Amino acid sequence: MLGLRELIILLVLFPFLAGGLLSFFPNRKIHTFGVMASGTLLGLGAFLLIPRVPFSFSPDLPGPLVPAALVEAADAFLLLLFLYYGFKHRRPLIQLLSGTQLLLLLFIPFYWPAPASGHPVFFGDRLSLLLVLIISLIGPLIVWQALPYLENHERHLQLKATRRHRFFPVLLLFLGAMNGLVLSNDLRVFYFFFEVTTLCSFWLIGHDRTAESVNKALRALWMNSLAGLILLLALAACLQNYETLHLQEIIRGSSAGAWGLLPLALLCLSGLIKSAQFPFQNWLLGAMVAPTPVSALLHSSTMVKIGVYLVLRLTPALQGTLLSLGLAVFGAFSFLAAAALAVGQSNGKKVLAYSTISNLGLMFALAGLNTPEALSAALLLVLFHALTKALLFLGVGVIEQRLDSRDIEDMRGLYARTPLTALIMVLGILMMIMPPFGLVLGKWMALEAATRNLPVVLLLAAGSALTVMYWARWAGTLLSQPFSGPFSPEKQPFLTWTALTALGLGGLFLGVSAPWLYSWLLTGAIVPEIQLPYTQRGGGLYNSYGAFAVLPLSLVALLGLGASIFFMRWARKGNLVSPYLGGLETENPGIFRGPLNRPRQAGAKNYYLSTLFNERRFVFWFNLTAVGLWLLILAGGW
């Protein structure tokens, strides 16, 4: 058995090393082997970590290497790199943000001398473990699928020399940094990994090096640099207020101090930016210029989950504060606003992006509500959102390479062209909105937990209706005419199918076993002595006021789905006719006799209600509202 030290090295340090090594070998076979092997090792490491939690751990470094100084130097190096990019691309904002951070970084240890050490650098409980499992199991699947994807991508772009050694190493680095981030207890270490994820997303979004992608990457860089700056300010405030940088201690000993909860408010705000909440949603929307696996990674298992993790981690310290209430209202608002903007989109990737922002909003709302019920819902949502969103993004990636389009209108009748991919997308969409799948279980818990808070429940109810609208529309479009006849799955690379089926089946299986998973997960997550609000009985979850029989309902739902598919296949043998076109049908399906008896193609497009749910019309007001709510959160910290 590996010791804790070796495990952390495997989960955090090893991806850095593997990535660094791979960046020197652009060869395809070496890359395939390296990526497959590191992914497997990461997954194994995550599994081996399961019996180890909860734990606290400090690495003992040899002689002259002082951890604090080492981290400080690494931070400074990263900031210099950002500064370099700021000057290279002539972005004063990035120069300003990273310059300020650099000054603060030098200034902090001078003004607030580092407290005596002896606290664990790493800390893990079931919350960290959940995140590690998501990062190290879903992450590698996405990275594996990226192997065939990038081959296609580079062929399509007709690159002279491959750039895969600028891609896969960064993906691995990203996973390592994420693991480090969710396991670190020392905020200085946390800040380092935070900045590494900023760097990785900057590199990945700008991977294609087109003018557009560089622009979007720089936007992500300045927004996330702002998050870094706020985090650094939070560090200073923590030192001033609590005289410590150890997360667990801060959570336990908060509420005291001259600045009240200000450090915690700043931590939450930096998390909100990382999670692309209003008004900083643009960096995530821009990120879709990158190759699709990058989006899948950013949206599901990495980056945007940082904010949710951080806020969930802080919830014990926020109980019953105005800050917590502000977060709840902000999150619910974000849930509704992003869903409304998603309704107005026909760009599939943008729908997914807004849906991510919306779901993250829901998680923040739950963290803000801060009851055991709400936190249960949040944990389930974190897990199932990661699974489902990864599946949907990978599906869109496959479709995009096939159709050369990401527009939902172009996916009309996709079932006839790529039946299996279309079905997997439909499965993903059903997993988003159909009970008893995990996300809906989470949403159900969320609504029941939110009911005592009227503004929140109102926003959530309205947002749920909008959510159903944009998903149902998409699923129907995929299965639209023409129909292809017998089902024959299309050819796709093995790794693509592996990733898609693993995510789909994993989602189904975990969804059915959610009641057990829930009890296991919540015991010892966030606070060690948390009371389980729901009890598991016969595969269902029950509390004093609600009941959701997950397992029985799953069986009935699967039966219903199976029967529906059986009858669909049976209907094939029935009488198939051409659609009704007002009595003007011709022998060609979909063609009608138009004016002067000319044949005309019949067609209808989806409702996007773009006059109402218009980005240009609403974004300003949404951002303005969000700024107001940010100020509320900040005021809650004072």
Partner 1 sequence: MGRIFYTALGLLAAPFLGGLLVGLDRILTARLQSRIGPPLFQPFYDLGKLWGKSRTLVNPWQAFGVHGYLAAASIALALFGLQSDLLLILFVQAVGTLFLVIGALASGSPYSQIGAHRELLQVLAYEPLLLLVPAGIYLETHSFRIVDLYQGGQPLLFRLPLLFLVLPLVLTIKLRKSPFDFSASHQTHQELVRGILTDYSGPYLCLIEVAHYFEMVLILGICSLFWTPGWAGQILLPAAAFLVTILIDNSSARLNWRWLWGAAWGIGLPLCLLNMIWIVWGY
The neighbouring-strand residues paired with 541 are 536, 548
616's tokens: 């240009």
Closest to partner 1 by CB, 217 vs 392, is 392
Residue 579 binds partner 1 (CB under 8 A): yes
We find the least distance from the C-beta atom of residue 569 to partner 1, in angstroms, to be 7
Min. distance of Cβ 156 from partner 1 in angstroms? 30
Packed helices 187-205 and 262-274: angle between N→C axes, nearest 10 degrees: 20
Nearer to partner 1 by Cβ, of 241 and 358: the residue is: 358
Our CB check for partner 1 shows the closer of 240 and 480 to be: 480
**Taking the C-alpha atoms of 485, 487, 492 and 494 in order, what is their torsion angle to the nearest 10 degrees?**
-170
The residue among 9 and 553 lying less far from partner 1, judged by its C-beta, is: 553
Q: 2 vs 584, which CB is nearer to partner 1?
A: 584
- Determine phi and psi for 213, rounding to 5 degrees: -70, -35
Rounded Cα gap, residues 50 and 529, in angstroms: 19
Which residue lies nearer to partner 1 by CB, 396 or 440? Answer: 440
Q: Which residues pair with 600 in a beta bridge?
A: 592
Is the dihedral angle over the CA atoms 121, 123, 127, 130 positive or is it negative?
positive
Work out whether 570 is an interface residue with partner 1 (CB under 8 A). yes
Q: Examine residue 560 and tell whether it contacts partner 1 (CB under 8 A).
A: yes
Give the contact letters, 233-272, x = binds to partner 1 (CB under 8 A), - = no: ----------------------------------------
Among 509, 607, 621, 638, binds partner 1 (CB under 8 A): 607
Beta carbon of residue 530, minimum distance to partner 1 (angstroms, whole number): 22
CB of 601 to partner 1, least distance (A): 10
Angle between helices 494-512 and 438-450 (to 10 degrees): 40
Nearer to partner 1, 24 or 621 (CB): 621
Q: CA geometry: angle at 396 spanning 395 and 402, to 5°?
A: 95
CB 478 within 8 A of CB 422: yes
- Least Å distance, CB 603 to partner 1, is 7
DSSP strand E in 379-513: where? none
304: its two tokens: 């945007």
Beta bridge partners of 591: 601
CA dihedral in degrees (614, 618, 623, 624; nearest 10)? 170
Shortest distance (Å) from residue 503 CB to partner 1: 22
Over the window 427 to 466, marking each residue x when it contacts partner 1 by CB under 8 A and - when it does not, the resulting string is: ------xxx----x--xx--xx--xx-x--xx--xx-xxx
Q: Which is nearer to partner 1, 416 or 510 (CB)?
A: 416
> With CB under 8 A as the contact rule, which of the stretches 143-151, 180-188, 298-306, 578-586 interacts with partner 1?
578-586
Of the candidates 345, 360, 224, 348, the one whose C-alpha atom is nearest the C-alpha of residue 282 is 224
* 548, 622, 626, 637: residue in contact with partner 1 (rule CB under 8 A): 548
Which tokens go with 286? 């821009």
Contact string 479-508 vs partner 1 (x = CB under 8 A):
xxxxx-------------------------
Phi and psi of 413, rounded to 5°? Answer: 70, 30
The residue among 633, 636, 635 whose CA lies nearest residue 273 is 633
Q: Which stretch binds partner 1 (CB under 8 A): 377-385, 508-516, 526-534, 604-612?
A: 604-612
Residue choice 553, 584, 632, 634 for contact with partner 1 (CB under 8 A): 553
Stretch that binds partner 1, among 10-18, 478-486, 511-519, 619-627 (CB under 8 A): 478-486
Place of tokens 């995990």: 438
The amino acid occupying position 471 is W
CB of 303 to partner 1, least distance (A): 30
Distance CA(583)–CA(586), nearest Å, equals: 9
Does residue 565 bind partner 1 (CB under 8 A)? yes
How many residues interact with partner 1 (rule CB under 8 A)?
69
Shortest Å, Cβ 525 to partner 1: 24
Tokens representing residue 604 in the block:
């209808």
Candidate segments 94-102, 390-398, 400-408, 558-566, binder of partner 1 by CB under 8 A: 558-566
Of the listed pieces 149-157, 183-191, 237-245, 573-581, which binds partner 1 according to CB under 8 A? Answer: 573-581
From its phi and psi, is residue 505 left (phi > 0), alpha (psi between -120 and 50) or beta? alpha
> Any bridge partners for residue 593, and if so which?
599
Look up residue 210 and give its two tokens: 């087109």
Of 221-229, 310-318, 506-514, 559-567, the window that binds partner 1 (rule: CB under 8 A) is 559-567
* Residue 380 in tokens: 């389930």
Q: Which residues pair with 622 in a beta bridge?
A: none
CB of 511 to partner 1, least distance (A): 14
In a 10 Å sphere around its CB, with 0-12 CB exposed, 13-18 middle and 19+ buried, how is residue 37 labelled?
Answer: exposed
Binding to partner 1 (CB under 8 A) within 515-544 occurs at: 544
564 binds partner 1 (CB under 8 A): yes
| Interface with partner 1, residue 603, by CB under 8 A | yes
Q: Give helix 187-205 / helix 211-242 axis angle, nearest 10°.
A: 170
- Do residues 421 and 395 make contact, with C-beta atoms less than 8 angstroms apart? yes
Least distance to partner 1 from the beta carbon of 54, Å?
33
Which of 590, 614, 619, 625 touches partner 1 (CB under 8 A)? 590
Q: Is 618 near partner 1 (CB under 8 A)?
A: no
CB-facing half-sphere around the CA of 52: CA atoms within 13 A: 24
In this chain, which stretch among 92-100, 319-327, 599-607, 616-624 interacts with partner 1, using CB under 8 A?
599-607
Instruction: Judge if the upstream peptide bond of residue 64 is cis by omega within 30 degrees of 0.
Output: no
d(CA 607, CA 343): 9
287-323 exposure pattern, b = at least 16 Cβ within 10 A, e = fewer: bbbbbbbbbbbbbbbbbbbbbbbbbbbbbbbbeebbb
Interface residues with partner 1 (CB under 8 A)? 415, 433-435, 440, 443-444, 447-448, 451-452, 454, 457-458, 461-462, 464-466, 468-469, 471-473, 475-477, 479-483, 544-549, 553, 556-557, 559-561, 563-565, 567-572, 574-582, 589-590, 602-604, 606-607
